[in-house]
Amino acid sequence: MKPFKSAILLSLWCGFYSPALVAEEDVSTKDPSQDQDVKPPKALATEEERYSFDGQTYIYRKPSVLDLFHKVPQDLYSYYDESFRWENWPWMAGIGASTAALIYFDQDILDESKRVGARYHISSEDKTTEFFNAFGVFPIRFPTDTGSAFYFIGDGWTHATIALSFYAGGYLTGNIRAIQTGMQIVEGIVSAGIVVQTLKHITGRESPVYATSDGGIWRFFPDQIDYHKHVSSYDAYPSGHMATAMVTMTVIAENYPEYFWIKPVGYTLMGLLGFQMMNNGVHWASDYPLAFALGYGFGHIAVREGRTLVQSEAEAKRPPTLWESIKIGPYIGIKESGLRATYKF
Share of the chain above pLDDT 90, in %: 65
Select the more confidently predicted residue: 177 or 132. Answer: 177
Please list, in sequence order, all residues whose beta carbon lies within 8 angstroms of the beta carbon of residue 193, skipping any fewer than 6 positions away. Answer: 240, 243, 244
Select the more confidently predicted residue: 337 or 138. Answer: 138
Q: What average pLDDT does the chain have?
A: 84
pLDDT band of 39, cuts 50, 70, 90: very low
d(CA 132, CA 307): 38
Is residue 281 within 8 A of residue 209, CB to CB? The reply is: yes
Q: What is the pLDDT of residues 155-194, one digit of tens each?
A: 988 999 999 999 999 999 999 999 999 999 999 999 999 9
Encoded amino acid at 63, one letter = P
Q: What is the pLDDT of residue 312?
A: 53
Q: Is a pLDDT exceeding 80 seen at residue 44?
A: no
d(CA 50, CA 29): 7
Among 41-45, 201-205, 225-229, which is the least confidently predicted range?
Answer: 41-45
Q: Is a pLDDT exceeding 60 seen at residue 251?
A: yes
Q: Is a pLDDT exceeding 90 seen at residue 332?
A: no
Q: What is the pLDDT of residues 22-32, one digit of tens each?
A: 655 444 444 44
Provide mean pLDDT across the span 77-86: 89
pLDDT band of 12, cuts 50, 70, 90: very low
Q: Is a pLDDT exceeding 80 seen at residue 2?
A: no
Q: What is the pLDDT of residue 94?
A: 96
Q: What is the pLDDT of residue 135?
A: 72
3-state secondary structure 237-298: CCCHHHHHHHHHHHHHHHHCCCCCCHHHHHHHHHHHHHHHHHHCCCCCHHHHHHHHHHHHHH
Domain boundaries, the chain: 3-316
Q: What is the pLDDT of residue 20?
A: 55
Is residue 307 within 8 A of residue 180, CB to CB? The reply is: yes
pLDDT band of 69, cuts 50, 70, 90: very high
d(CA 293, CA 71): 19
- DSSP bridge partners of 132: 140
Q: Is 41 helix (H, G, I), strand (E, B) or coil?
A: coil
Per-residue b/e over 91-128, b at no fewer than 16 CB within 10 Å? eeeebeebbeebbeebbeebeebbeebeeeebbeebbb
